[in-house]
Amino acid sequence: MSTPHTIESGFERFHQLVLGNTALQEDLTGITDREAFISRAVELGHQHGVPIQPADVVAALQAARGAWMDSQMV
Residue-wise burial string across 3-31, b where 16 or more C-beta atoms lie within 10 A, e elsewhere: eeeeeeeebebbbeebeeeeebeeeeeee
User: Does 1 have pLDDT greater than 70?
Assistant: no
Query: How many angstroms separate the CA atoms of 71 and 29, rounded?
Result: 22
- The pLDDT tens digits of the residues spanning 27-52 come to 999 999 999 999 999 999 999 999 99
Kindly report the pTM of this predicted structure: 0.77
